[in-house]
């Protein structure tokens, strides 16, 4: 196990070391101490390693992650795991705005709540939020899944494309072109898989969730929809 203390090691050195790892590295377990809210911690990893971050992180932690499993024992700032391509990112506490923004692949698990715009422009990743999400979550989300065990704020799924949204609690309001859809057995099975990926095993009934998706009315510009623009 490699231990990096960010109280003593410059962030640039840490990230450069992570980027230098070969695909077949034996150095697969990393612990990062004293992140102290620094930004861009463990960004751009592209190796099958596990990284444990002990403490709170600032903006863009694990941004553009590939392959790695990154766990933050604390809270995360804006843009957690933004544009992630693959791998897993798990924050045990809360996440600020734009968690999982534009993420193409992989799994993001948020143990607490996520602020506004969670999953904005999502492009294929799975996001599981054990608490609630703020307003404009999944705005223009294109592909992937957002699972919320708590409530969702205003304008959920505004201008949604093909991403699937599952919410167990209350939805303050749906955004333009986002509608509730039937929760079929197929969707329940898919949701169960997503919950398992998020470490939610038992105690949660998939039947308590409602599914939301795109009405696809804004896919082509129509003057009769002008009120939605």
Q: Does 124 bind other proteins (CB under 8 A)?
A: yes
According to DSSP, the residues that pair with 46 across neighbouring strands are 66
Q: Does 208 bind other proteins (CB under 8 A)?
A: no
> Site for other proteins (CB under 8 A): which residue of 47, 49, 72, 120?
120
CB 166 within 8 A of CB 182: no
Binding segment (CB under 8 A) for other proteins, from list 87-95, 114-122, 149-157, 190-198: 114-122
117 vs 211, which CB is nearer to other proteins? 117
Looking at residues 150 to 189 of the shown chain, list those that interact with other proteins (rule: CB under 8 A): 159, 161-162
> Site for other proteins (CB under 8 A): which residue of 85, 176, 192, 228?
85
Question: Closest distance between other proteins and the C-beta of residue 102, in Å?
Answer: 4
Between CA 130 and CA 134 the distance in angstroms is 13
Which residues form the interface with other proteins (CB under 8 A)?
A: 11-12, 15-16, 19, 39-40, 43-44, 46, 58-60, 63-64, 66, 78-79, 82-83, 85, 97-98, 101-102, 104, 117, 120-121, 123-124, 139-140, 142-143, 159, 161-162, 219-221, 223, 226
């Amino acid at each position: 196990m490699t231990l990096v203390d960010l109280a003593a090691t410059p962030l640039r050195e840490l990230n450069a070391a992570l980027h230098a790892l070969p695909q077949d590295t034996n150095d697969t377990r990393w612990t990062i101490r004293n992140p102290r809210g620094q930004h861009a911690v463990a960004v751009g990893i592209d190796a099958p390693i596990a990284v444990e971050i002990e403490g709170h992180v600032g903006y863009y932690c694990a941004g553009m992650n590939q392959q790695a499993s990154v766990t933050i024992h604390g809270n995360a700032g804006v843009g957690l795991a933004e544009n992630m391509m693959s791998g897993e990112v798990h924050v045990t506490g809360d996440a600020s705005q734009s968690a999982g923004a534009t993420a193409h692949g992989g799994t993001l698990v948020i143990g607490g709540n996520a602020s506004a715009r969670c999953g904005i422009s999502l492009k294929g990743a799975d996001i599981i939020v054990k608490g609630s999400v703020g307003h404009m979550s999944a705005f223009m989300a294109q592909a992937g899944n957002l699972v919320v065990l708590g409530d969702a704020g205003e304008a959920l799924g505004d201008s949604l494309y093909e991403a699937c949204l599952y919410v167990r609690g209350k939805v303050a309001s749906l955004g333009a072109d986002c509608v509730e859809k039937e929760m079929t057995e197929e969707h329940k099975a898919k949701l169960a898989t997503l919950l398992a990926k998020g470490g939610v095993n038992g105690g949660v009934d998939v039947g308590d969730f409602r599914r939301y998706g795109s009405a696809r009315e804004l896919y082509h510009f129509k003057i009769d929809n002008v009120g939605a623009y």
